[in-house]
Amino acid sequence: MEVNGSLKNLINYYHEDKLSHAYLIETNDIDKCLTELKYVLKNINCPHEYKDNCSNCNLCNLLNNNYLPSFIVIEPDGINIKKEQILDLKSRFSTMPLYTKENIYIIKEAEKLNQSSANTMLKFLEEPEDNILGFFLCYNANNVISTIASRCEIIKVYYKNNEDTIYNNEYFSNVYNYLRKIELEKKYGIMYNKSMLLNLYSEKEDYVNIFKLLLRIYYLALKNKESLTDMEFKNKFSFLLEKSTEELTRKLKIISAYLDDLNYNVNIELFLDKFVIELSEMNE
């Protein structure tokens, strides 16, 4: 997994015993940042030698799904993070951590800590216990209540706009070649499922990523059809830009529905066959 450098550094600090007890992380993508932060925390706490997608390890699985008792993620309840949410955090962290080295909390959208929840929070920050580690994720550090911000080490984690990076996506070249085949050789599209995808990818997670990428490509096709802003897209995807807005919209809906279906147990081969057939029915 590619992880932002500033976040990755935390792993080194940890091993050098230089980790602060609280970090305020300013980012333009809180969800992505949270995923990467979890990667860092798994890396630090995994009882085995951590590998990407450490999947047979209980701790990594629990942490991934927010089920680890010593790991709590708080998000705003309505427009604020409420005092009760912080009180609950305090009571759950009143015991020593069991499976991780520290009790770890993450506050999403720390700007939404109001005066009373921040005051409750302060006790955590003023008496830094050795076994508590906190992260405040925010879009703008200047909007976080100063009593909190001043007690944290500040990190900035900026990501390039997602739309600029379809070309860097690890699936891009295979998905691109596949899409050209199924869009340009409509009649025989189905035969490319095996040779261009199934032979390469066997995990469901791969297909989730592939369908997410397809979704982004059709979305960009629609956007660039309205007003062409991305010349690289035009050069690569002229075969999509030729299509009508209606056709692109309908296909976008199909891809989105198939992406949802991947949440269920599906036979990938049948799933892809059905997808290609349905997609080509939409050709005008």
54 binds Zn ion (CB under 5 A): yes
Rounded Cα gap, residues 77 and 83, in angstroms: 10
# of chain residues touching Zn ion (CB under 5 A): 4
Tokens of 135: 């992260």
Nearer to Zn ion, 70 or 85 (CB): 70
Q: Which residue is nearest to Zn ion (CB)?
A: 57
Instruction: Name the segment binding Zn ion (CB under 5 A); options: 23-31, 48-56, 82-90, 145-153.
Output: 48-56
| H/E element, 136 | strand 132-138
60 binds Zn ion (CB under 5 A): yes
Nearer to Zn ion, 57 or 107 (CB): 57
CB-count exposure of residue 140 (10 Å: 0-12, 13-18, 19+): exposed
Torsion of CA 57, 62, 128, 141, to 10 degrees: 110
Parallel/antiparallel/unpaired status of strands 132-138 and 22-27: parallel
Least distance (Å) between residue 133 CB and Zn ion: 18
Torsion of CA 264, 267, 269, 274, to 10 degrees: -60
Nearer to Zn ion, 38 or 108 (CB): 38
Instruction: Name the segment binding Zn ion (CB under 5 A); options: 38-46, 80-88, 100-108, 226-234.
Output: 38-46
Instruction: Name the segment binding Zn ion (CB under 5 A); options: 58-66, 86-94, 102-110, 228-236.
Output: 58-66
Q: Minimal CA–CA distance to 134: which of 155, 162, 115? A: 155
Nearer to Zn ion, 11 or 46 (CB): 46
Nearer to Zn ion, 54 or 279 (CB): 54
Residues 101-140 that bind Zn ion (CB under 5 A): none
Instruction: Name the segment binding Zn ion (CB under 5 A); options: 51-59, 96-104, 204-212, 269-277.
Output: 51-59
Nearer to Zn ion, 46 or 222 (CB): 46
41 binds Zn ion (CB under 5 A): no
Rounded Cα gap, residues 194 and 124, in angstroms: 55
Residue among 10, 34, 44, 57 that touches Zn ion (CB under 5 A): 57
Rounded Cα gap, residues 265 and 38, in angstroms: 26
What b-and-e string marks burial along 189-218, b requiring 16 or more CB atoms within 10 Å of the CB? bbebbeebbeeebeeeebbebbbbbbbbbb
Least distance (Å) between residue 137 CB and Zn ion: 23
Residues 248-267 that bind Zn ion (CB under 5 A): none
Nearer to Zn ion, 54 or 155 (CB): 54
Residue among 11, 19, 46, 62 that touches Zn ion (CB under 5 A): 46
- Cα dihedral sign for 267, 268, 274, 278? positive
Could you list the residues that contact Zn ion (CB under 5 A)?
46, 54, 57, 60
